[in-house]
Amino acid sequence: MLSKKTALITGGSKRLGREAALTLGQAGVRLVIHYNSSGVPAEALCAELKGMGTDAFPLQADLGSTEGTDALFDEAWARMGPLDFLVNNASIFPTGRLEEMELGDLHRNLQVNAWAPFVLTRAFWRRIRGTERRGSVVNLLDTRLVGGDLAHAAYHLSKATLKELTKLTALEFSPELRVNGVAPGAVLPPEGLNDAYLDDLTADLPLKTRGYPQDIADAVTYLLGAPFVTGQVIFVDGGRHLRLGGNP
């Protein structure tokens, strides 16, 4: 069902983006691997995907800049042909509490984590508006949207905006586009932390089991290919959102 479809995945060269790219590639999806600074891993991933028999090429853009964001979708479309899927995975995750937050912090997080996904989604819709073509978008959210992430306040606000945009774009850009979200729990430790960070979190999860990048990639793949699902957010987090929601 996904074979021969085409996808753009942002921040696709490493970590969760890479796992999603490999899973989609195994299903026969042709891929544009967007990156910002990770050109070497992006090239290596594309070579790996080609070795698996699927077409892939890397494409650089800084989603922190308006110009880079505006150009990316059209460039991907021009290079790969009509796109079927968009995965808005690229993100920044800086620490910082409300006490120190400046407008510039909020702006930087909103730009990469919410505005860029929105601009890409809108560019996708503008391409296929009024045609018989259909597209599917998945936005990467975060399970901590439920309780609020005070240690990453600007990040939290930007992901909350993206969650609302998931709903609004699903409505406004239908029937051409379906737009859904995946809200991961911690499956990879943030930079500077090791697996002990995940072990501590796992002990508190209702399911008491660790999640892996493949769990997130599977949810992304499902939503991309689910023709009767839009405006939905799937929490892939071992049940953590239930606890964050205030339940003991």
Residues near ligand NAP, by CB under 6 A: 11, 13-17, 35-38, 62-64, 89-93, 112, 140, 142, 184, 186-188
Burial class (CB in 10 A: 0-12, 13-18, 19+), 71: middle
Q: What angle do CA 21, 24, 26 make, to 5 degrees?
A: 105
C-alpha–C-alpha distance, residues 110 and 99, integer Å: 18
| Residue 229 CB, nearest approach to ligand NAP (Å) | 19
Closer CB to ligand NAP, 22 or 90, in the complex = 90
Closer CB to ligand NAP, 93 or 222, in the complex = 93
Q: Which of 163, 60, 75 is nearest to 120 (CA)?
A: 75
Name, in order, each residue with C-beta under 8 angstroms of 172's C-beta and a sequence gap of 6 or more. none
| Residue 175 CB, nearest approach to ligand NAP (Å) | 27
Is the CB of residue 125 less than 8 Å from the CB of residue 176? Answer: yes
Closer CB to ligand NAP, 23 or 89, in the complex = 89
What residue number has its CB nearest to ligand NAP? Answer: 11
| Residue 172 CB, nearest approach to ligand NAP (Å) | 22
Closer CB to ligand NAP, 82 or 148, in the complex = 148
Name, in order, each residue with C-beta under 8 angstroms of 73's C-beta and a sequence gap of 6 or more. 8, 83, 86, 119, 120, 123, 124, 127
Name, in order, each residue with C-beta under 8 angstroms of 75's C-beta and a sequence gap of 6 or more. 59, 61
Cα dihedral 61, 111, 97, 215, rounded to 10, equals -60
Closer CB to ligand NAP, 162 or 170, in the complex = 162
Closer CB to ligand NAP, 36 or 136, in the complex = 36
| Residue 114 CB, nearest approach to ligand NAP (Å) | 11
| Residue 218 CB, nearest approach to ligand NAP (Å) | 14
| Residue 112 CB, nearest approach to ligand NAP (Å) | 5
